[in-house]
Chains A and B, each alone.
Chain A
Amino acid sequence: MANTIKVRAKLAGDVTTVKALVSHPMETGLVKDKKTGQLIPAHFIQEVTCEHNGNNVLTALWGVAISKNPYLSFRFKGAKVGDKLTLRWVDNTGKSDAEETVID
């Protein structure tokens, strides 16, 4: 799977801010293809998780309301500079991708 996640994490004080941009069509399944007139099948991320030092710090359950190429940002406490973070997504077709980054 081609890399679809760009993620950065920054520590300020005791709060880490994680920002990520995910490349994904996020098709709702309600849009018709202009050329064929057929419905484009639903293809969207259902779950996003973020792990830090083996702990899950975020679980996001997404649906069709999230737009194409979603941007995600969240904050959590309890990390240090140099710690590793892994962001992962799974979509409704079963595909997934993950990306690791280091907190700075």
Chain B
Amino acid sequence: MRKLLSIVAALSIAATLPYTADASPDQDLKEMRAYFKKRFPKVPFQDYANGVYALDAESRAQWESIEDFPPYEMSVDNGKKLFNTPFKNGKTYASCFPNDGIGIVQNYPLFDKASGEVITVEHAINMCRESNGEKPLKYKKGDIADIAAYMAYTSRGKKLKVVVPNDPRALAIYERGKQHFFAKRGQLNLACADCHVSSAGMHVRADLLSPMLGHVTHFPVYRSAWGELGTLHRRYGGCNEQVRAKAYDAQGPEYTALEYYESYMSNGLVLNGPGSRK
């Protein structure tokens, strides 16, 4: 463990992290892309949506055979059923979303000018429920993941296009997410960037570290470790706990900002949710 930490520490200092304070989102995106292009010259851009399976042939072969009978299929079916079941007042989720909620996930998280907030898919689902007199769902797993999985499934093939408008409120949330990504935290004193930028493609015990490019495209995700589907914020919490930091609340301001930043950085990648991972 100490050896791993010292390697990570050395790399953090040695490698130039693509972090420029006060840069525009567009600049950040260009820098991050250039970093990964240099780091993994043989990986085609669109393949980053497959995470570690773009980097390792053996685990890719295993993953492809799992995709023969994707473990998330039953969740998508359940999600479709939940999505089409009317609320007590007779309306359905379709009434809350453009295009009846089909094929729209590529626009999320989106910045809402009226409220000045960034809205994620899961948050939008609960906003829909509450405005129709239903109780909100819990944010990490269960029905919310199934509904989000169905919506992600209908959005497959669409290119992620998260907008960070030239609005100080949106830029502030973006910056907050970027700060979270690069800030060290927890007893292990690691930043998201330490593993997912500097050490991307390397091992941490028996697991491969995924590059941050393409992180969000395949969520919600069926994680073998969970034995079920979970949302992005569930993974954020788990990851923070893994560096022995206290997890923030799912759909709280911290993880929403982080999702905003990470999603913007993956713009242009083709959505492939829900996904299956180790």
Interface residues of A (CB under 8 A from B): 6, 8, 19-21, 23, 67-69, 71
> Are the CB atoms of B227 and A21 closer together than 8 Å?
no
Encoded as 1 (CB less than 8 Å from any A CB) or 0, chain B from 7 to 31 comes to: 0000000000000000000000000
In the complex, B68 has a CB within 8 A of chain A: yes
Encoded as 1 (CB less than 8 Å from any A CB) or 0, chain B from 64 to 76 comes to: 0000110101100
Chain B residues closer than 8 Å to A8, beta-carbon distance: 68-69
Chain B residues closer than 8 Å to A23, beta-carbon distance: 74
> Are the CB atoms of A69 and B74 closer together than 8 Å?
yes
A-B contact pairs, 16 of them (CB 8 A): A6-B69, A6-B73, A8-B68, A8-B69, A19-B68, A19-B69, A20-B69, A21-B69, A21-B71, A21-B73, A23-B74, A67-B227, A68-B227, A69-B71, A69-B74, A71-B69
Q: Shortest Cβ distance from B37 into chain A, in angstroms?
A: 37
> What does DSSP make chain A's interface, helix, strand, loop or mixed?
strand
Q: Which of A20, A68, A71 has the most CB of B within 10 A?
A: A71
A-B contact count (CB 8 A): 16
Q: Shortest Cβ distance from A23 into chain B, in angstroms?
A: 6
Cα distance, A35 to B69, chains bound together (Å): 32
Cα distance, A68 to B71, chains bound together (Å): 11
Nearest A residue (CB) for B71: A69
Chain A residues closer than 8 Å to B68, beta-carbon distance: 8, 19
Chain B residues closer than 8 Å to A19, beta-carbon distance: 68-69
Nearest B residue (CB) for A23: B74
Cα distance, A8 to B65, chains bound together (Å): 13
Cα distance, A69 to B69, chains bound together (Å): 11
Besides the known contacts A21-B69, A69-B71, 5 further A-B residue pairs in the complex with CB atoms under 8 A apart: A6-B69, A6-B73, A19-B69, A68-B227, A71-B69
Cα distance, A68 to B227, chains bound together (Å): 8
Chain A residues closer than 8 Å to B74, beta-carbon distance: 23, 69
Chain A residues closer than 8 Å to B73, beta-carbon distance: 6, 21
Nearest B residue (CB) for A71: B69
Cα distance, A69 to B224, chains bound together (Å): 12
Q: Shortest Cβ distance from B81 into chain A, in angstroms?
A: 11
Chain A residues closer than 8 Å to B227, beta-carbon distance: 67-68
Nearest B residue (CB) for A4: B74
Chain B residues closer than 8 Å to A21, beta-carbon distance: 69, 71, 73
Chain B residues closer than 8 Å to A71, beta-carbon distance: 69
Q: Shortest Cβ distance from A55 into chain B, in angstroms?
A: 25
Chain B residues closer than 8 Å to A67, beta-carbon distance: 227
Cα distance, A9 to B27, chains bound together (Å): 50
Chain A residues closer than 8 Å to B71, beta-carbon distance: 21, 69
Nearest A residue (CB) for B70: A21
Cα distance, A74 to B274, chains bound together (Å): 27
Nearest A residue (CB) for B77: A23
Nearest B residue (CB) for A22: B69
Q: Shortest Cβ distance from B93 into chain A, in angstroms?
A: 23
Cα distance, A68 to B74, chains bound together (Å): 13
Q: Shortest Cβ distance from B224 into chain A, in angstroms?
A: 10
Cα distance, A71 to B68, chains bound together (Å): 11
Cα distance, A67 to B226, chains bound together (Å): 13
Q: Shortest Cβ distance from A3 into chain B, in angstroms?
A: 10
